Chains A and B, each alone.
Chain A
Amino acid sequence: MNLSLKWLHDFTNTDGISTKEYCDRMTDTGSKVEGYEVLGEDISNVIVAKVLKMERHPDSDHLWICQVDIGETVTQIVTGAQNVHEGDIVPAAIPVAHLPGDVTIKAGKLRGVESNGMLCSIAELNLTLHDMPEAIEDGILILGKDFEDKVGMDIKEALLLDDTVVEFEITSNRPDCLSVIGLARETAISFDKPLNIPTPTVKELGDGDKIENYLSVKISDPDLCYRYAAKVVKNVKIEPSPLWLRMRLRAAGVRPINNIVDITNYVMLEYGQPMHAFDYAMLSGSAINVRRATDGELFKSLDDKDHVLDSTMLAICDEKKPCALAGVMGGANSEIKDSTTTVVFESACFSGPSVRVTAKKNGMRTESSARFEKGLDPENCMAGLLRACEMVQLLGAGDVVDGTIDVYPTKPEPTVLPLDVDKINKFLGTDISYDYMKSVLERLECKVEGDKITVPSFRADLTCMNDIAEEIIRIYGYNNIKSTCIYAETTQGGRTPKQQFEVDTEHLLYGMGFDQIQTFSFISPKYYDKIRMDEDSKLRKSIVISNPLGEDTSVMRTTALPSMMEVVARNINFSNEDVRLFEMATVYIPNEEYNALPDENKVLTLAAYGKGEDFYALKGVIENVLESAGIEKAKFESYSGDKAYHPGRCAKIVTADGKELGVFGQIHPLTAQNYDISIPVYAAELSFDAIFDAADMTIDYKPLPKFPAVSRDFSFVCDEEVEVGTIEEIMAKAAGKLLEDIKLFDIFRGEKLGAGKKSVAFRVILRAPDRTLTVEEADKVSNKIIKDLSFKLGINIRG
């Protein structure tokens, strides 16, 4: 809402208050100021001047030498404009003058002839044809004869440009402040100034004519229209509004059109009551019906756009057709034209949600709909209507027909709230007196009798104690509340074990050189193709956003691997070397049931590329994560079921009791190719939820060993296909209780061993808790290991 301070001064004053102080205090009391603009700030030394004499320039066929009266003196100005005549009143920029757009006017010579300034066009004063309808675009602004007595006056004063406009951000609960009067009320209370809102008065015409001769109104859908008031104006003469009115509209950011339309806009801005004016001659019949549109009904709005209406929308209709979309926009069929002679002014109150939906469906959010959708005061209709007619009389724009139509099915009862001083003080943590509260509420036009508050009709937002408390505290000052500590039962607080495990895991990963990333939860469905997900994979079924910004962000991811791969690709592109990344990501797995929320699962994705990275480096990282979770016996199973990964360099991680914890491996070269990656990348997607579920974080000290351990080294030759894990499992079983640890310390391949063979070497550590093992005991275990491996896998000690 743009507020002209001049307009504000019709109702209250801000004497002795600087604009900065004004803005700060208004913000403090709840009307947030976004900024302010001093109009005409960029215009200086432009004077109303009279052209006394004009002569052709001796060396030019288009320049004129003008002798110009600028009040105290007569000066010479050369102009190239052709629309100036002797006797014209014009704006003249007198050196040194400044014009909008950083233009400076200095004295100089034009083809040898002295010119002490410049005559100005509307554009040079940053005005438009709407602001100055008598002017022309490509010529000097010729001011009317009314300016005869203003010669020598500063143009800003003469054209009423000397105003300051304050821009307010009005919150949706205060539609009453989308008006000069509403803001005047707030100004008056904020600065303790008097407030004077005159009651508009319309003089009776007394010619025997009455509104019933013209119009009847019926509200067929009173659930959407709470009040409909109308007056008729005859003998209308459509012309431009007077300068003062145009300039006020301009200050408010509204384009002047003609007197009738300008009046409706003026009243909307002043009273916050949207108005509409119909050309009476264009109505079919005299009966106005406020009704829901029928499905498929056609309507052309004022801005010449076609709309197909439906039965959720309220329309103002004559006997044949919709003439306006209630509270949104008038129809082209009944628009005010230069030829209009009889006007119907509508001042109504429509249901907010209905206007909002209608405006949204038709894609026309207007000044009117923006006000209605917040819920307006039906009591304001009549004041607005009378003000419009008062202005018609003031402007001499037509004759207001006697009588008023006012269909008002249910006048709402005023809200009455208790004023419980103790409760409010206890709630705010203040010690404000009854008298102070009463005076604030009364200045906000509440009626206060004892502990009873009657809320004014324009404050539908005041419905409970909290609302009253806010009214009082915003005037008293939020910043005058004393800060206190909560005085209540103590709460334990802290992270849940899972939240703490997440923080701990993050720290573990930082320690292992992983940078953390954060990626979008919504992705393109094409991302599934990029990681070569099976066509029939369940994971291709994602939650789909019905109104996405674009295809790129249109589905909720079911896997976080593609997001990770995008980031890997980006970092490779940036030539970032030796990178390790992780993300604690959420994936969204849809549920079968309609309108059921998806499962939101937490996954840990990892990726690494560069020096020292290989399958086992990433496996070591994962083993550390599992170890930190106290998961000891997870198995790594060779896995070729995920096409994102190299089929021979991918593993699935499974707990001892068979729960899957995730998959990791080297990214398949074809997957990598989809990201234009040509170097090996290792990645993992682990279920953070499953890891936490499998985690055992209890710490239980085991006594340190009292007896020495015995270690035996073995080296076996076996086929390439035999997995180390299988050998270890058999060794562990064979060693039984005495086993403390098995460590793989070498894998060797060589010509001597033969093709397809490898040698694997282990150190087995044996220990008994209660004695020193004898050589015989250790030998027994060794022999069993050798025997079992030979028996079960057919592999033998390397000779």
Chain B
Amino acid sequence: MKETLNRIKAEALEAIASPETDDAALEALRIKYLGKKGELTAVLRGMGQLSPEERPVVGQIANEVRAEIESAITKKKAALASEALDAKLIAEKLDVTVPGKKTKVGHRHPLTLVQRDMEDIFIGMGFSIAEGPEVEYDYYNFQALNIPENHPARDTQDTFYITDKILLRSQTSPVQARTMEVQKPPIRIISPGRVYRSDAMDATHSPLFHQMEGLVVDKGITMGDLKGMLETFAKTEFGEDTKVRFRPHHFPFTEPSAEVDISCFMCGGKGCRLCKGEGWIEILGAGMVHPNVLRNCGIDPEEYSGFAFGMGVERIAMLKYHVGDIRHFYDNDVRFIEQF
């Protein structure tokens, strides 16, 4: 009987292992050997004829054979399933170079992009965003800023007038005056927005452009603070290695005043086409708020001091993204906008 069992085992294992054996064949084998009418079952039925001594020995062998066949079937089943899955997956192979199904995503206008960047830098330094009207009183645009009527500084900003008292603001600085009138120090604001000057449109001029003004007023504000803050701004906006240079200048609403250059971020200051060989690029004007301006807005210059700065958004966008013609910003060709 032992021999029969071993024969069954050998036959069964061989049949299961055969590469011809598929899922259906495997099931047939299971029935053939392990089923109720199967060969192994038949052998076990014949156990009664064995002697009581032989019975446990043969029984054990029979159980082992059964277990082995069962295990072989299970393994074979798993192997077959795995093969089938592999085959299926291979059949499902995709061409990964076919373009993806995109949801169209819109693009920021480059001026907004630059403006938001700059806003975020100053917000991080405790600034709020102040807003003011674009159609503005002459008073806020000029007089409050220490530019009386017939002051020569008015010539440098050809202004659009609505009436003799109302104009299109030629700078974002009137927001300074408006803010100081209603808010007492500490003041830390930036004011981005549109400004207007009577310049005909060409590659570098536009009658409408964007500026961003900054103002800090508090006790004990120094010119060193102005330098420190603008250096932080420049490093964040243009890169950690950016150097900042201050040149004396004149603005009626600040004293001392400065024009501020940054080291060229294209060439690092060696001199290139972007910086016209200078190594430096002028990006903003700044200075300590003129005591007359503080006084005009009801802030005592003996108690408080402050600084202000202003820069052109278009200019920075043109420098950063190498846009050669300011008109692109207002043509709004999506082939342009979608590059940002």
Interface residues of A (CB under 8 A from B): 27-30, 32, 171-174, 352-353, 356-357, 373-374, 426-430, 464-467, 469-470, 473-474, 478-479, 481-496, 499, 503, 506, 509-522, 543-549, 553, 556, 567, 570-571, 574, 576, 578-582, 586, 588, 594-595, 597-598, 600
Contact = CB atoms under 8 A, between A and B. Distances in A.
B250 A515 contact: no
B153 A481 contact: no
B266 to A, nearest CB: 21
Given A486-B225, A517-B332, 6 more contacts: A373-B152, A493-B123, A511-B106, A513-B106, A567-B332, A581-B332
Given A173-B250, A493-B188, A518 B106 contact: no
B231 A483 contact: yes
Contacts of B161: 545-547
Interface in B243-264: 245-250, 252, 255-259
B108 A600 contact: no
Contact of A478 (B152, B156, B168, B258): B258
Contact of A470 (B124, B156, B247, B256): B256
A515 B107 contact: yes
A440 to B, nearest CB: 13
Contacts of B105: 510-511, 513
B30 interface: no
Contacts of B227: 429, 481-484
Chain B CB count within 10 A is highest, among A172, A174, A490, A503, for A172
B144 to A, nearest CB: 15
Interface string B120-153: 0011111111000111110000000000011111
Contact of A479 (B108, B245, B329): B245
B34 interface: no
- Sorted from nearest, which 7 A-B pairs have the closest CB atoms? A429-B224, A429-B222, A171-B250, A353-B150, A470-B256, A30-B248, A513-B104
A617 to B, nearest CB: 12
Given A174-B250, A580-B106, A598-B135, A516 B337 contact: yes
A600 B135 CA distance: 8
Nearest to B249: A171
A486 B334 contact: no
B160 A487 contact: no
B126 A515 contact: no
Interface stretch (B12-20, B38-46, B74-82, B212-220): B212-220
Interface string B158-169: 001111011010
Most buried by A among B119, B156, B337: B337
B116 to A, nearest CB: 7
B226 to A, nearest CB: 9
Contacts of B331: 570
Contacts of A600: 133-135
B228 interface: yes
Contact of A519 (B125, B257, B330, B337): B330
B222 A428 contact: yes
10 contacts: A353-B151, A488-B220, A493-B125, A495-B129, A506-B112, A513-B106, A516-B337, A518-B111, A518-B332, A576-B335
B293 to A, nearest CB: 10
Given A484-B228, A519-B330, A570-B331, A491 B220 contact: no
A176 to B, nearest CB: 13
B271 interface: no
Contacts of B225: 429, 484-487
A27 B108 CA distance: 39
A172 B198 CA distance: 20
B66 to A, nearest CB: 49
B24 interface: no
Nearest to A173: B250
B290 interface: yes
B53 interface: no
B28 interface: no
B32 interface: no
B218 A488 contact: yes
B35 interface: no
A555 to B, nearest CB: 10
A598 B169 CA distance: 13
A517 B337 contact: yes
Interface string B296-340: 000000000100000000000000000000000111111101100
Contacts of A469: 223, 255-256, 288
Interface string B73-117: 000000000000000000000000000000111111101100010
A173 B125 CA distance: 33
B260 to A, nearest CB: 9
A45 to B, nearest CB: 29
Given A357-B150, A515-B338, A474 B256 contact: yes
Contacts of B168: 522, 545, 556
Nearest to A356: B150
Interface of B: 103-109, 111-112, 116, 119, 122-129, 133-137, 149-153, 155-156, 160-163, 165-166, 168, 186, 188, 194, 196, 198, 200, 207-208, 216, 218-225, 227-229, 231, 245-250, 252, 255-259, 288, 290-291, 305, 329-335, 337-338
A373 B149 CA distance: 12
Nearest to B254: A466
Contacts of A173: 250, 252
A32 B150 CA distance: 24
Given A481-B223, A488-B186, A543-B162, A494 B123 contact: yes
Contacts of B165: 595
Contacts of A29: 248
Contacts of B231: 483
A658 B253 CA distance: 47
A470 B135 contact: no
B222 A470 contact: no
Contacts of A594: 163
Nearest to A355: B150
Contacts of B194: 521, 586
Q: Which of A488, A519, A571 has the most CB of B within 10 A?
A: A488
A422 B198 CA distance: 44
B330 A520 contact: yes
Contacts of A427: 222-223, 288, 305
Nearest to A564: B332
A93 B247 CA distance: 44
Nearest to A484: B224
A486 B221 contact: yes
Given A483-B231, A513-B103, A588-B135, A546 B162 contact: yes
B292 to A, nearest CB: 8
B334 A576 contact: yes
B339 to A, nearest CB: 11
Contacts of B250: 171-174
A512 B338 CA distance: 14
A527 B119 CA distance: 33
Contact of B152 (A356, A466, A481, A581): A356
A510 B107 contact: yes
A464 B248 contact: no
A466 to B, nearest CB: 4
Nearest to A600: B133
B332 A483 contact: no
Contacts of B258: 478
B259 to A, nearest CB: 8
Contacts of A485: 225, 228-229
A765 B107 CA distance: 38
Contacts of A516: 106-109, 112, 337
Contacts of B196: 521-522
A513 B107 CA distance: 8
A499 B216 CA distance: 20
B160 A586 contact: no
Given A29-B248, A521-B194, A545-B160, A571 B149 contact: no
B166 A479 contact: no
Nearest to A594: B163
A465 B291 CA distance: 9
